[in-house]
Chains A and B, each alone.
Chain A
Amino acid sequence: MIRFSAAAKRYPGGLEALRGVTLEIADGEMVAITGHSGAGKSTLLKLAAGIESATSGTVLVQGQNLGALGESALAILRRRVGFVFQEHRLLFDRNAFENVALPLHISGFSRHEAARRVRAALDKVGLLGREKAMPVALSGGEQQRLCIARAIVNRPMMLIADEPTGNLDADYAGAIVDLFMSFHQVGVTVLLSTHDEASLGRLRCRRVTLAGGTMVEEGGA
């Protein structure tokens, strides 16, 4: 379970990205965070993943108060969270296989087990056979799927995606949304942000709308 209690985030320079958000996400639930640019969606996701820390309030993940965890404990928690970054954050000097294998190397998997898991993750996102392709040789949609493969390769308890359909055409965006729905159907907690109406229409899950860093609306699909 993820629980935000009056969570707020103020960045150095004074920007208040999130103001007292209280929200609970149950295990295995799928939640879409919506809102315009600058609403605080990315900040909320980063707080849930332990990438950023709240300046006030608390964020609990699986009962652990992230604000009370040390740097190493937070890093270890992030291994159990698959994060799909808005800007992909792929390594352009590594091929598709090496990009997806990165979390497994960090976790200390054997080469054999890592290779097996990487192929399975690439298969899941439809990139099996493109292991040796460099990211620059992949389309925007393929890069996004490669990023998703890297996020799921460690079999995370929670999948967080920041605007996973941004900059994709409707067909690609639909395929990506379906992919997240399939992860949710096998019990993975999915938390994703989007402001793309077409994608939102496809998602059958709870929606939380943010505006100016506060929660303004919450409802079902």
Chain B
Amino acid sequence: MRLLRLHLHALGAALERIAAQPVASLFSILVLGAAIALPVVAAVVLQSAMATGAGFDTEPHVSVYLSLDASAEDAKRVEQAIRGEPDVMAVTYVPRAQALAELQASTHLAEVLAALDTNPLPDAFTVRMRSTDPASLAKVRTAWAALPKVDQVAADFEWSERLARWARLGEHLVGGAGLLLAAAVVFIVAHLVRLQVLTRREEIEVSQLIGATSADVRRPFLYHGALQGLLAGALAVALAAAFAAWARHELLALTPNYAAELKVVFLRPAESALLVAATGLLGLLAAWGAVSHQLRRFARDR
């Protein structure tokens, strides 16, 4: 009960300190919130880009398209030739009817495709390769293009691989920016708490003289730091949510035909809560460091 009262008193004192300087508190929370919002917005953009590109195959594969007049026997012969290549890992046959059905289902061209008299798509093989070595790929590409009834051989996975690499780079950049801005949050909160401690030096020293332990002295400052972190984290989530809503609206307006493919993915509620909790924890740790450092200095000065 006593401990609960001490914590409630410390929380009340921290709220009083924030309320006592409303403009300064608001500005510091705005600065912190904007700093935290930057990597969150970047993460939203990256997540959205990855969700949009999730349908893209990034595994190394080669597509072998047969000519429109190829028969089932021709397709079998081509398949045997493909499977004879040692670098081949798996072969999937995609009949032209299946290809048309998939195209109709996955794009906005369904009406156009339905209006056609005949299926314009060829039978095809999707070949998964063990190697991405350009020289060996060029060799099999030439060999398979020379097979009878083979119309075209496409090894166009390089761009998707590049996309995956960009996505990985983006993740690292967002992670790095997040770490840098988390450090900035720690420094800003630590600085604000340090100023609070300095302005309350007399109160701290008197409190220690009449029986306050270091924990008693630290407690309201820890609540102050944690509250600033929590409020800044909540503001950052709100700013990022506003950005996501705006981006979704703009994408819909700009590209209505691709609305199904282009996605704006925001944080899940649990992720948002985790972010706010993490910023609260950062604020608390920053306050802990700042108060402990100042208390050591006060003790040295005595």
Contact = CB atoms under 8 A, between A and B. Distances in A.
A89 B6 CA distance: 23
Contact of A72 (B6, B209, B210, B214): B214
A106 interface: yes
A18 B208 CA distance: 23
A77 B214 CA distance: 14
Given A72-B215, A106-B216, A150 B210 contact: yes
Interface in B200-249: 202-203, 205-216
Interface residues of B, number: 19
Contacts of A83: 209-210
Q: How large is the interface on A (under 10, 10 to 19, 20 to 34, 35 or more residues)?
A: 20 to 34
Nearest to A85: B209
Interface in B1-35: 2-3, 5-6, 9
Nearest to A94: B203
A83 B2 CA distance: 23
B210 A103 contact: yes
Contacts of B211: 75-80, 103, 106-107, 154
Interface string A147-180: 0001000100000000000000000000000000
Interface string A86-97: 000101000000
B212 A108 contact: no
Interface in B91-123: none
B209 A102 contact: no
A51 interface: yes
Contact of A75 (B5, B9, B213): B213
Contact of A105 (B3, B9, B213): B9
A78 B210 contact: yes
A80 B3 CA distance: 18
A108 B216 CA distance: 10
Interface string A25-55: 0000000000000000000000000010000
B206 A89 contact: yes
Contact of B212 (A75, A85, A110): A75
A71 interface: yes
Contacts of B208: 75
Contact of A91 (B3, B203, B213): B203
Contacts of A108: 2-3, 5-6, 9
Contacts of B3: 108
Nearest to B3: A108
Given A72-B215, A91-B202, A91-B203, A102 B210 contact: yes
Given A76-B213, A106-B210, A110-B5, 7 more contacts: A75-B214, A79-B211, A103-B210, A103-B211, A106-B207, A106-B216, A154-B211
22 contacts: A51-B209, A75-B208, A75-B211, A75-B212, A75-B213, A76-B211, A76-B213, A78-B211, A79-B211, A85-B209, A89-B205, A89-B206, A91-B203, A102-B207, A103-B210, A105-B9, A107-B2, A108-B2, A108-B3, A108-B9, A110-B5, A154-B211
5 A-B pairs with the lowest CB-CB distances in the bound complex, closest first: A79-B211, A108-B2, A78-B211, A75-B213, A72-B213
